[in-house]
Amino acid sequence: MNKAALTRQAILRKSFEIIYRKGYQSTSIDEIIATMQVTKGAFFYHFKNKEEMGLSLIKEVMLPNMHAIFIEPLTATADPLSVIYEMINGLLSDIIFFDVRYGCPAMNLVEEMAPISESFCEQLNFLVKEWQIAIENCLEEGKKTGVVNLDTHVKQVALFITSGYAGIRNAGKIFGIEAYTCYLKELKRYLDQLR
Amino acid sequence: MNKAALTRQAILRKSFEIIYRKGYQSTSIDEIIATMQVTKGAFFYHFKNKEEMGLSLIKEVMLPNMHAIFIEPLTATADPLSVIYEMINGLLSDIIFFDVRYGCPAMNLVEEMAPISESFCEQLNFLVKEWQIAIENCLEEGKKTGVVNLDTHVKQVALFITSGYAGIRNAGKIFGIEAYTCYLKELKRYLDQLR
DNA sequence: TTCATAAGATACCAGTTAGTATGTTTGTGC
DNA sequence: GCACAAACATACTAACTGGTATCTTATGAA
């Protein structure tokens, strides 16, 4: 990768870090470039404005990362319901990419930007839908092998699970990690009941 | 109520309206006062700064309102699980206080402010906890009358439900009301399984 | 060496932000 | 009708916002 591409990626990574903690709108370009060895000229050389940077951030940083963390675990060959539980459990246990105080970067962006930006809404819709479809496929597979009850509505369940995840990330912000462990117990009960 | 108190309340109501649509940090005092016949002097006469206004907004507008919309329905005398379902159904069907694009005012504030303000976090913790406890009591009552399965962990379930609600409000922002109806079906299934 | 372009630095602008300083009106007890 | 404080109104500031215009340096082909 050449120097220009490295600079661009560095800006995106740093932006992601700060936006995760402060939100998109409250993160200023000045703050982003101040915390790294990059100037405003460089920033606007790589992105025509703040919005283009934000959208690039979703496409080039979040989508690949989320794919690895959210969808990859679902390709495991074990019992689908355990696989789904372990994916959520893994997400909530991850303290490298996530912080209980700041919730989930993707869901935070949905909350903040979906209502006020069509472009953000589209990108985030795509991101979350991809996750849901992966869960649906996982459940469908479980139906075939007889692990998942045949009258399970996979779309409904997938939405129920992803919504629950978004919600517990929200609750974690006010209740701390105890909320996570409490939630996981009930999630397990819920998933078992789909057998 | 005297004129001063009316002015104060008018500021809080208008602030609530705008903050619901734009978020707390992105709502400027200038915008609040510009959309009503009040000046900056009046604003800072009633509130020492923006934060005090925000906290007053939670205490004096949201807490009473939420109490009426979130907790009141739970005091119905019907089957507790139906009561809980109808409360969530009522919340998601309400298009007077809520808009699918903007989600839930309370959960939005949690998402935005809990991570960056201890004071907001405390207030919102209190608000959500009150709701959860009302659900717990409702379930406990159901246990007594034999409607709710005795090995149900009421705390777990209450957290699971409130989280799900917060999450579906989030999902609604990107998927629209179809997400609500889809979610409600699975919620019903989930609640029935607690019998 | 020349020179064109990519990549980045510096300084600045116009608009917006929360907050303040200082004024004016309005109500209320006496 | 006077005193005085509560309840506002007006005008301002200092800091910050996204974005631009202009300058400088590195790179690589001819």
User: How confident is the model at residue B77, as a pLDDT?
Assistant: 85
- Is the pLDDT confidence value at B65 over 80? yes
Could you give the CA distance from residue B106 to residue B70 in angstroms, rounded to a whole number? 11
Query: With bands split at pLDDT 50, 70 and 90, how would you rate the model's confidence at A79?
Result: very high
- Which of A110, A170, A186 faces B160 most closely, judged by CB atoms? A186
Using one digit for the tens of pLDDT, what is the confidence trace for A135-167? 999 999 999 999 999 999 999 999 999 999 999
Determine, for residues A173 and B26 on separate chains, whether the beta-carbon distance falls below 8 Å.
no
Task: Write down the pLDDT at residue A1.
Answer: 62
Which has the closest alpha carbon to A39: A78, A75, A7? A7
Question: Could you report the per-residue pLDDT of A81-103, keeping only the tens digit for each?
Answer: 999 999 999 999 999 999 999 99
Q: How many CB atoms are located within 10 Å of the residue B35 CB? A: 12
In a domain, A19, yes or no: no
Q: What is the pLDDT of residue B3?
A: 76
Q: If DSSP states are collapsed to H, E and C, what string results for A97-114?
A: CCECCCECHHHHHHHHHC
Residue A111 domain flag: yes
Name B99's bridge partners: B103
- CA separation for the pair B163, B169 (Å, rounded): 10
* Rounded distance in angstroms from the CA atom of residue A115 to the C1' atom of nucleotide C11: 36
Q: Give the span between the Cα atoms of A55 and A193, in whole angstroms.
A: 39
Residue A120 has pLDDT above 80, yes or no: yes
In degrees rounded to 5, what are phi and psi of residue A99?
Answer: -135, 130
Kindly report, residue by residue over A18-70, the tens digit of the pLDDT. 999 999 999 999 999 998 888 999 999 999 999 999 999 999 999 999 999 99
User: The tokens 């299934």 sit on which residue?
Assistant: B189
Those residues with Cβ within 8 angstroms of residue A32's Cβ, 6 or more apart along the chain or in another chain: A11, A14, A15, A18, A43
Cβ contact, residue pair B171, A163, below 8 Å: yes
The C-alpha atoms of residue B189 and residue A176 are separated, in whole angstroms, by 29
Q: With respect to residue B98, please indicate whether it lies within any of the assigned structural domains.
A: yes
Domain assignment of residue B58, yes or no? yes
Nearest protein residue, CA measured to C1' of C22: B41
How wide is the angle at C-alpha B25 spanned by C-alphas A179 and A126, nearest 5°? 65
- Higher-pLDDT residue of B140 and A77 is B140
Say what the pLDDT of residue A4 is.
Answer: 72
Give me the count of residues in chain B: 195
Nearest Cα neighbor of A158 from A98, A80, A59 is: A80
Domain assignment present for A45: no
Q: What's the rounded Cα separation, in Å, for the pair A116 and A182?
A: 33
Tell me if B31 is assigned to some domain.
Answer: no
DSSP A8-36: HHHHHHHHHHHHHHH-STT--HHHHHHTT
Q: Which residues pair with B103 in a beta bridge?
A: B99
Query: A50 is written with which tokens?
Result: 């703040």
Reported as a single tens digit per residue, the pLDDT across B18-59 is 999 999 999 999 999 998 888 999 999 999 999 999 999 999
Cα distance between residue A91 and residue A177, in whole Å? 12
| Residue A74: inside a domain | yes
As for how many domains chain B has, the answer is 1
CATH at A78 = 1.10.357
What is the residue range of A141's domain? Answer: 50-192
Residues of A in contact with B101 (CB under 8 A): 114-115
Kindly state the average pLDDT of the residues B98-120.
Answer: 96
Q: For residue B25, list chain A residues with Cβ-Cβ distance below 8 A.
A: 23, 25-26
Footprint of strand C on the protein (CB under 7 A): A 2-4, 7, 37-42, 45-46; B 2-3, 27-31, 40-41, 44, 48-51
Q: Is residue B3 part of a domain?
A: no
